[in-house]
Amino acid sequence: DAEITQSPRHKITETGRQVTLACHQTWNHNNMFWYRQDLGHGLRLIHYSYGVQDTNKGEVSDGYSVSRSNTEDLPLTLESAASSQTSVYFCASSESRNQPQHFGDGTRLSIL
C-alpha cells in the first residue's frame, strides 16, 4: 500500500541546533506540503512543493527551509532551532492541486 511516512516521530533538541525532519511518500505525488500544528492555530502551512526542484514559502516559513531533489521526499530543515518552533509537524501530499491532501502521522519536536 502506498503511504506517507515521517521520521522521527519524536525529537528533542537544543536551541541553535540544526534539525531535519524527513517526509517520504510512495504515491508518486507531485505536490507535497509541510504544516505545523499549534494549539489555537490549527495547521499552518510552512513550505510546499509542486514538483522536483520546486519549493515555495507558506504562511509561517521564517526559520525553515525545504529542498525537493526527487518526487518521493521533502525534508524540512530548521537552520537554527528556536523554542518557538516547538510544535507538531505534519507532512502531506496530493496527486494534484484539486485533490485532497494525505497526511503523515506527524513529528513531535521539542526544542529546549
Partner 1 sequence: DQQVKQNSPSLSVQEGRISILNCDYTNSMFDYFLWYKKYPAEGPTFLISISSIKDKNEDGRFTVFLNKSAKHLSLHIVPSQPGDSAVYFCAARSDNQGGKLIFGQGTELSVKP
Question: Counting contacts by CB under 8 A, is residue 75 touching partner 1?
Answer: no
Asked if 62 is part of the footprint of partner 1 (rule: CB under 8 A), the reply reads no
Footprint on residues 36-55 left by partner 1 (CB under 8 A) = 40-45, 48, 50
Cβ(83)–Cβ(111) below 8 Å? yes
At position 1, the amino acid (one-letter code) is D
Burial class (CB in 10 A: 0-12, 13-18, 19+), 67: middle
Q: Does 58 bind partner 1 (CB under 8 A)?
A: yes
Tell me which residue of 95, 10, 88, 4 sits closest to 46, measured CA to CA: 88
Residue 101 interacting with partner 1 (CB under 8 A): yes
Q: Of 12-20, 60-68, 71-79, 93-101, which part binds partner 1 (CB under 8 A)? A: 93-101
- Cα→Cα distances 27→14, 66, 107, Å: 34, 19, 20
C-alpha cell at 51: 514538483
In the bound state with partner 1, the residue whose beta carbon lies nearer, of 16 and 48, is 48
Q: Is 57 in the site for partner 1 (CB under 8 A)?
A: no
Q: Which residues bind partner 1 (CB under 8 A)?
A: 4, 31, 33, 35, 40-45, 48, 50, 56, 58, 90, 92, 94, 96-98, 100-106
